[in-house]
Structure 1
Amino acid sequence: MREQTFRLRSNLDFVALLERLRCEHGPAVTDVTGILADVDKDLEDCEAEVGRLQSRIIALHNQHRLLEQYRTYLRSFRSPIRRLPNETVLRIFEYACGMNELTSKKLGDMPTLVISSVCSRWRSLVKTRPALWSFIRINMQLIPPNEFLILGLYLESSRQSPLCIELIGKPKTLELHHQTCGAGSRFRVLSTRSRTLQECSASVYIRVLPSQDLGEIQFPWKQLRLLSLERHPSGMKNVLHICDKLTELQFREVDAGPGSYELSSPPATASVLETLSLSVSQTSLSESLAEVVFSSMSCPSLTSLLLEARNEYRRAWPKEALHTFISRSSFHLTTLSIKFIALSDADLIDLLHRLPSLLHLTIDDSKQSLATTATTPSPITSRLIHSLHAFPHTKSASVSSALVRRLQTLDVTFSGSTAFDDGEFIEMVSSRWLPADSDAFGLQVHTANHLDSGIGTECLRSVVMRFRNRGVNDKVYSPSRHLEQAGMRVVIVDKSPES
């Protein structure tokens, strides 16, 4: 797009203007009206040009940050390790690579795979040393329900090297044994921590209701797409088996008596479920709906997770159960909503680290709907805002990857009265503004390439910030107006004077 030249219609001759003001005869009224009209148009053009330039400044500022990161990567070409001979590098790899835990969700637990991902040279070197791929540990309870492709990769890459395999727990399927037994002639060490082999079958007939089986009720269960429940029976696997086309499942926690929320073991799989909603409530029961659901289900197709409390919910954040649920399901979540539930900023940041595919995030720290007091603790802190910055500052010299880099919409409700840094918030929002049409300003931005390489973020498209219990300084939020004029949806709502 060609830049338009900005020209004023008005001739700002203050000397001539003041002389005519002092003389007896001034210009005709019609002339003054025409001049004023030109001045008004020039003022409008100036405001539009200021907005355009402000948007360009923000884009240039982010381009400057990208250039700094690009320079950091260029400097890595001068790293001393690049001058080491291959023989020395391989000795280092042998020292660094131990057991590879193939069922772990942490890449750091698979050192051979991590090293082979650094660069083409390292990958070529690792491929020439099959022994690095021959140390394998597998937790049977964490094997994904679908294909276990990574085991095939390790067995193939280890070639004819003697294998050291450690199996932990009771296997749920014989497929793993078929894969490993195919390489039985290469076993050097085979270690197992399971006493028995479970049968690879389960009864379909599981009692769900007190007096009758769900399958005996004459109802088109296969047509159901949404199901809402106020309990979680131990036979949840049967419910999901009969209603196997569910795309949305809602749970509502109620004080319904003992046995209302029971664990399902092994976890039940909802293969096509896309939306899971939990409406939790403080009850007299020892069981927690959130803990039970997250410990009892696997949802590989889940895209939306909605968590909301209906009263002053006081239970602890189900951190371990939720993290295990995420690891077990291996889904690509795009929408996360957490309302009226107390959790720390560290727990929320930890959760967001596990959801790199997230596009839409909603956080409300109110104690309950329309409340003007915040939960304790509240996740909305400077630490959270800083972690969402597209270019987070770290004490180390290394480049730090931004959190939830694909985020497109952010909806935040803050119910505290103080301890909120407005400047840091608007700076975070501005850091995520780098639209695809930035080349209109002469900026060469390739968002997809940056994301693939772990640099930069998607362009944030919508921000809604509500303050339940405080006002805001319009001057601090003035940069948001430039972003809004450039195409971002920005809504800032503070406490009204009447409340």
Structure 2
Amino acid sequence: MALVAYFPSSQSIAQIAWPSERISTRLCDKCNHSIHLDAPSLDFHTILKHSRSGYNPTPSEHKAYLGMLDEARYEIDRRETELRRLREATQRLEEQKMLLQAYEAGVKHILSPIQNLPLDILGVIFQYVCCGKDATDIANNYLTVVWRGKKTNRLPSFDLSSVCIRWYSFVTSMPTLWTSFGNDGYDSISQSLVKTFLERSRSNLIDFKLTDLMLDSLFPPSPLVAHCNRWRHASIAGSVEFMFRSFLIPLIRRKETPSNLLSLDLECFPDRQAVHFPISLPRLKSLGIRGFILDFETPPDTVNKLYLSKVTCINALSFLQSFPNVESLTLDHIDSGIAPECAPIVFDTIQSLNLIFPLKSAFLTATKFPRLAHLYLGSGRDKSNGFQSIFSLLDQNDNFITLTHLSIKNMSIRYDTIFDVLSRIPSLTQLDLEEPLTDSLRLDTLRWTLELLAAPREDTGSDIDEEGLPEQVIKGVGTGKYAPDADGYQSNYLEKDNDSFHERLLLPQLVEVNLALRPRNELLLDVVRSRRPISENTRSDPREGLTDRAWLQTLRVFEDFEALEERLKPFKEGGLDVVIEIPVLDS
């Protein structure tokens, strides 16, 4: 049955530019097979005129028009037949092209230089692709991604083993390529893959990172528990049922010591924050717990890195005192609580302290860190909520002589607060600054910190106005003069008197500054999305059918790193180590 194509009913025939010459389309160059349309013989303009005027044909004319209609339909069927033939020919050619491309890929694979690599070098490359260095860096992460327009699960070890028989035999014979595994949901497929990795890794130590995204499910004991003596780096997060039924309870009942476990990271939010844990971990170096704490019968004295998140102040203090050799401590969103009424607890082994705000002052008031060398201040919510609690720490550790490294990342802090913090730590030698995730003219942490470092310290009082700016900064006093401009407050040097200028600088021992200027990539994408949406009707020309607005046609982004490097050149010649890098953005 011939397919008949119709002119779109939504379009007016008056919009057609009717040709004045005969149209001929050559379909075959060999036999000169062509199809013609004698456009001038078709009196289209008369048809258009009669259509517009509501012309009513006579009986004889009506019969003639029926014949013209049959003739037009016949010609349409002819063209539809030719189109179908050409489409079928195109499909056959595409299939043949695909076969030739597969043949070409096979030849290229045979000639590929990687075929000449010895197996030991190939094994090093495969190990780099397949194996993470610990449980927080799992290369074999079982993730659902879009691959060539279809959703699929990507695992490097399986991908490499599916290239050819040689690679399959080699990958499956290397147990180290199956020693790390991660997932984004502990479903039946994930459980099956865990068993495969356990079998193929043989007796090697394993790293895994498992996350449960299924709620209200019955979780059987994980097969990983039976191999707990092979755990090296373990990370487990999920619901209470998943954490306890699949791991903690079976592990406690098994009464086997994970003697090779080096790092353990747990995230769960049970009703009670302290969970009895009689299992000993003799080699544990790093411990991270979110939402609860483990009540060890024998706390491992080998732990030197501790991460606590979303627990009460009392539990955090009690837990921390069980680990006498912790050198690096991270506190993330410690809940408000009442600190014990006693002298500050001294932690003389901690050298690195990472504080993630919001953080209540109760914990910092009750602690003291006499050997603290590195202080990290960050925010998970891009706010300075609770930042004033840092003064509790600094006041408890007055006369700091060990603190040399300060990092402030992703925080919006008032000008006067920055000034007060930097004034308290003159021993600082290294400063790391990273811009907040969101723009804020009034809380431009990085810019204000740089202005404070550039200007000499004023020993006079620093009365703060309602906007958070010191009064002397607004008025402009001393040798470092400040004046407002269109973009905000900016420092301009008028003069530098004598050596006292350098004596009055903040952080006089500073020797290294690392700046992370965060690109406004998300904001830029929002601008592009709003001014050039991607849709089916705007893919070819977004302005089509829309005459009341313009659409973005060109976007240029300039980052003048070369100009900055040129201006820093004299300082580099004087011995300053200058490194300017374009940051690599996460996808």
Q: Which has the higher contact order (CA 8 A, sep 6+)?
A: 1
Q: Whose Rg is larger?
A: 2
- Answer yes or no: same fold by TM over 0.5: no
Task: Identify, as 1 or 2, the structure richer in strand.
Answer: 2
TM-score by structure 1 length?
0.38
TM-score by structure 2 length?
0.33
